[in-house]
Structure formats: C-alpha cells, structure tokens
C-alpha cells in the first residue's frame, strides 16, 4: 500500500489584506492512500466532520442520550 503526504501551507494576512510583520502560517498535513489528487483529498478532509456535527446538534436539540 502506498501512503502519500499532502501539505497545504497558508500565510494569513491581516484583516485589511496586508502581510504581517511576523507572519501567521497555518499548515494542514494529511496522510492518505486514496487515489484522489491533493485538492480532492483536502476537500474530503474538510467535510469529514460535517455529518457528525449535524448529528450531534440534532441529538442535543432532541435531548437524546449519548
């Protein structure tokens, strides 16, 4: 099995779009054996918790246990 690493590095700008003197850098690193390209893998990673989050919110609203 082949496992790839995918990195996404983002430099965060100030609210008015100016580079900061001390840059804030965000790094997203994934390990995957899926045959998707990097963009598709990152998109799937970002969507991974949306179903569980909605399910958890629904359970809270219904006062369901666990």
- pLDDT tens-digit series, residues 19-62: 888 989 999 999 999 899 999 999 988 887 665 655 566 556 66
Range of the domain at 55: 4-61
Count how many domains the chain has. Answer: 1
Q: What is the pTM for the complete model shown?
A: 0.58
- pLDDT tens-digit series, residues 5-17: 999 999 998 888 8
Q: Is residue 66 part of a domain?
A: no
Q: Is residue 52 part of a domain?
A: yes
Is residue 19 within 8 A of residue 7, CB to CB? The reply is no
Find all residues with CB under 8 Å of 4, minimum gap 6, and list them: 31, 32, 33
Q: Is residue 22 part of a domain?
A: yes
């Amino acid at each position: 099995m082949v496992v790839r690493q995918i990195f996404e590095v983002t430099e965060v700008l100030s609210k008015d779009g100016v580079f900061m003197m001390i840059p804030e850098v965000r790094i997203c690193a994934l390990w995957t054996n899926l045959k998707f390209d990097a963009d598709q893998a990152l998109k799937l990673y970002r969507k991974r918790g949306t179903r569980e989050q909605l399910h958890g919110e629904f359970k809270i609203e219904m006062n369901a246990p666990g």
